[in-house]
Amino acid sequence: MQTELERQGVVVHTGVEVQRIETEQDRLCVRGSGGAEACADIVLVAVGVEPRTALARAAGAELGIQGAIRVNRMMETSLPDILAAGDCVETWHHLLKQPTYLPLDTTAHKQGRIAGERAIGRSARFAGTLGTQVVKVFDLVVARTGLRENEANAAGFAPLSVEGTYWDHTVHYPGAQRVQMHLVGDPATGRLLGAQMEGPVQAAVAKRVDILATALYHEMTVEALSDLDLSYTPPLGSPWDFAQLCAQDWSTVARKGQAHISGKEDAP
Amino acid sequence: MQTELERQGVVVHTGVEVQRIETEQDRLCVRGSGGAEACADIVLVAVGVEPRTALARAAGAELGIQGAIRVNRMMETSLPDILAAGDCVETWHHLLKQPTYLPLDTTAHKQGRIAGERAIGRSARFAGTLGTQVVKVFDLVVARTGLRENEANAAGFAPLSVEGTYWDHTVHYPGAQRVQMHLVGDPATGRLLGAQMEGPVQAAVAKRVDILATALYHEMTVEALSDLDLSYTPPLGSPWDFAQLCAQDWSTVARKGQAHISGKEDAP
């Protein structure tokens, strides 16, 4: 992502602690540790998301993870007849089978619908999140679903993580793009735990991650991914989609009993 | 597809019976019913695929649908120790739970692998095809998985088919493209039976059809498609992916008990 930002002329500073922001000649200058300085017209402060729950708390609603409103899978709070949904509530994790805090637009829409169904007396249950996310950074798309290696470890799995570079479509057809894929699975059960991909916009990694999100929803094994009947035409794919090739690489490594082939640490 | 071909300068003749192909001044002229005529440097005759099974037949192998070699899901023919795979054999249909003839590259790869595993004494079983296919015609992509309405009817279902036009991503982000989606389901059970989509290359319909192929593999209901945690970012999708929006439209129609809303006949 940093490479793509720099390729587009963005100067990236990492590992810098911001100390102050000062106005200088109608511009804003951010100054930080190690003498780092960046001046600009606009400074955007992105420090994460916190649930805004003062009203719910004042009303006596039970709060949960990271201060989010505790809800069950019908979006019921601890208060009778009070439903809650969206970025202010706990989110059921489909894979971990426990609540988490993961405020995402897609989840908020699903929860809102469950709350709505519930409000008019219908029964509906939130199926849960898989943490599927995608971001477009200029011409690069980075997407994920399920657990990353460090998250799988934290959840008590002993995951096997395999990383590789693949082509988005058959190389004999012009315009093939390189994509990077990282697949996390549980060698004890063979189960798929998560996947991360990055590639240029035309490699459609956002929707490829969705194939894996659908597989994760059904608790598929990594090996069974190769059974999926995915579409193929030379300009758009391969007889085995690269997600299946990566799954096959994972199975090969799992059979050999290696713990990790990428040799890279999973970013925090 | 015809619109896209004509937009690219291709002259399309349909409903013409080809009567003869003649050489005229180093060119080939195709002449057909109703006075149709088209001259060109190359004439490509595309009349479908037939399994080439003379060798297998001579060896005494049992043949099946459309003359393809009869195999079980381990790719075993009726002859001991003779395995067969690819465009010459019957293909197990994952949804119909019966053999069909559907020669596709992806299927051939899967079957070849099963035959290979079987040949070295391992147990492996072909999971079956869903008839997932995609074709790129200039800037247009047309893709399908599962059954079309007419196929679902032929298979003994009483399908409900819903068709709609959707945006590939949120319209507030520039560059949103219109896509056409057709969803076939079984109102008796709520089950998804198939989907067809068409849209420009950047709408990634090939990989969106694969989300539905993965859902079909797991015999999902149309309604449950909305539970899938699919990726979203404004330039690439919507909080509900359009496949989910189409599924919601299907459910609305199914609840109202209408048989068909598109008003269009399914092409043969």
ipTM, two decimals: 0.93
Residue ranges and CATH numbers for the domains of chain B are 17-47 (no CATH), 55-119 (3.50.50.60), 133-256 (3.50.50.60)
Q: Which run of H or of E encompasses B99? A: strand B98-100
Contact (Cβ atoms closer than 8 angstroms) between residue B226 and residue A112: no
The pLDDT confidence band at residue A258, using thresholds 50, 70 and 90, is low
Radius of gyration of chain B (CA): 22
* Mean pLDDT computed over A222-233: 98
Q: What percent of chain A has pLDDT over 70?
A: 96
- Cβ-in-10-Å burial (0-12, 13-18, 19+) of B145 comes to buried
Residue where the block lists tokens 């060109």: B40
Which residues in B lie closer than 8 A to residue A129 (C-beta atoms)? Answer: 229
Q: Per-residue pLDDT for A133 more than 90? A: yes
* pLDDT value for A116: 97
Nearest to A162 by CA among A266, A260, A265: A260
Alpha-carbon span A252 to B180, nearest angstrom: 40
Does the beta-carbon distance from A239 to B106 stay under 8 Å? yes
Query: What residue type is assigned to position A242 of the chain?
Result: F
The pLDDT confidence band at residue A263, using thresholds 50, 70 and 90, is very low
* Mean pLDDT computed over A236-253: 96
A264 touches chain B (CB under 8 A): no
Alpha-carbon span A24 to B210, nearest angstrom: 53
Does the beta-carbon distance from A141 to B236 stay under 8 Å? yes
* pLDDT value for B257: 72
pLDDT in tens, B84-101: 999 999 999 999 999 999
Q: Per-residue pLDDT for B263 more than 80? A: no
Q: Per-residue pLDDT for A145 more than 50? A: yes
SS (H, E, C) chain A: CHHHHHHCCCCCCCCCCEEEEEEECCEEEEEEHHHCEEEECCCCCCCCCCCCCHHHHHCCCCECHHHCECCCCCCECCCCCCECCCCCECEEECCCCEEECCCCHHHHHHHHHHHHHHHCCCCCCCCCECCCEEEEECCEEEEEEECCHHHHHHCCCCCEEEEEEEECCCCCCCCCCEEEEEEEEECCCCEEEEEEEEEEHHHCHHHHHHHHHHHHHCCCECHHHHHCCCCCCCCCCCCCCHHHHHHHHHHHHHHHCCCECCCCCCCC
Mutation choice for B interface testing from A205, A210, A248 by most B CBs within 10 A: A210
Nearest to B146 by CA among B188, B193, B107: B193
pLDDT in tens, B103-150: 999 999 999 999 999 999 998 999 999 999 999 999 999 999 999 999
Hey, what are B148's tokens?
Answer: 């079309």
Helix (H, G, I), strand (E, B) or coil at B169: coil
* Mean pLDDT computed over B27-52: 94
Q: How far is B143 from chain A (nearest CA, A)?
A: 8
Q: Per-residue pLDDT for B262 more than 50? A: no
Question: Which residues on adjacent β-strands are paired with residue B178?
Answer: B167
Kindly report the backbone phi and psi dihedral angles of residue B231, in degrees, each rounded to the nearest multiple of 5, phi listed first. -70, 150
Alpha-carbon span A98 to A83, nearest angstrom: 19
Q: What percent of chain B has pLDDT over 70?
A: 96
Helix (H, G, I), strand (E, B) or coil at B142: strand
* Mean pLDDT computed over A91-97: 97
The pLDDT confidence band at residue B258, using thresholds 50, 70 and 90, is low
Q: Per-residue pLDDT for B50 more than 60? A: yes
The pLDDT confidence band at residue A256, using thresholds 50, 70 and 90, is confident
Closest residue in A to B93 (Cα–Cα)? A229
Which residues in B lie closer than 8 A to residue A235 (C-beta atoms)? Answer: 136
Helix (H, G, I), strand (E, B) or coil at B186: strand
Closest residue in A to B168 (Cα–Cα)? A207
A60 touches chain B (CB under 8 A): no
Nearest to A208 by CA among A194, A192, A197: A197
B94 touches chain A (CB under 8 A): yes
B236 touches chain A (CB under 8 A): yes
Question: Which residues on adjacent β-strands are paired with residue A24?
Answer: A27
**For the stretch B162-171, what's the b/e string if a residue is b when 16 or more beta carbons lie within 10 angstroms of its beta carbon?**
bbbebbbbbe
Nearest to A146 by CA among A137, A135, A159: A159
N-term to C-term CA, chain B: 15
A125 touches chain B (CB under 8 A): no
Q: Which of A210, A228, A239 sits opposite B230 (nearest CB)?
A: A210
Closest residue in A to B223 (Cα–Cα)? A124
Q: How far is A207 from chain B (nearest CA, A)?
A: 6
The pLDDT confidence band at residue A52, using thresholds 50, 70 and 90, is very high
Contact (Cβ atoms closer than 8 angstroms) between residue B194 and residue B144: yes
Alpha-carbon span A39 to A21, nearest angstrom: 9
Specify the DSSP class assigned to residue B87.
Answer: T
A208 touches chain B (CB under 8 A): yes
* Mean pLDDT computed over B21-33: 95
Which residues in B lie closer than 8 A to residue A236 (C-beta atoms)? Answer: 134, 136, 141, 201, 206-207
pLDDT in tens, B151-192: 999 999 999 999 999 999 999 999 999 999 999 999 999 999
The pLDDT confidence band at residue B225, using thresholds 50, 70 and 90, is very high
Helix (H, G, I), strand (E, B) or coil at B48: coil
Which residues in A lie closer than 8 A to residue B211 (C-beta atoms)? Answer: 207, 210-211, 214
Closest residue in B to A211 (Cα–Cα)? B211
Closest residue in A to B203 (Cα–Cα)? A204
* pTM for this entry: 0.93
Contact (Cβ atoms closer than 8 angstroms) between residue A19 and residue A32: yes
Nearest to A77 by CA among A64, A95, A65, A94: A64
The pLDDT confidence band at residue A268, using thresholds 50, 70 and 90, is very low
Residue where the block lists tokens 């989910």: B244
Alpha-carbon span B8 to B138, nearest angstrom: 8
pLDDT in tens, A184-221: 999 999 999 999 999 999 999 999 999 999 999 999 99
Query: Cα B23 to the chain's mean position, in Å?
Result: 36
Does the beta-carbon distance from A231 to B107 stay under 8 Å? no
Between the alpha carbon of residue B227 and those of residues A57, A210, B163, the distances in Å are: 29, 12, 21
Question: Which residues on adjacent β-strands are paired with residue B161?
Answer: B184, B260
Closest residue in A to B111 (Cα–Cα)? A227
Hey, what are A80's tokens?
Answer: 């009778």
Query: What residue type is assigned to position A104 of the chain?
Result: L
Does the beta-carbon distance from B109 to A231 stay under 8 Å? no
Mean pLDDT for chain B overall: 94
Does the beta-carbon distance from B239 to A109 stay under 8 Å? yes
Query: What residue type is assigned to position B132 of the chain?
Result: T
A188 touches chain B (CB under 8 A): no
Contact (Cβ atoms closer than 8 angstroms) between residue B75 and residue B118: yes
* pLDDT value for B256: 86
Contact (Cβ atoms closer than 8 angstroms) between residue B215 and residue A246: no
Mean pLDDT for chain A overall: 94
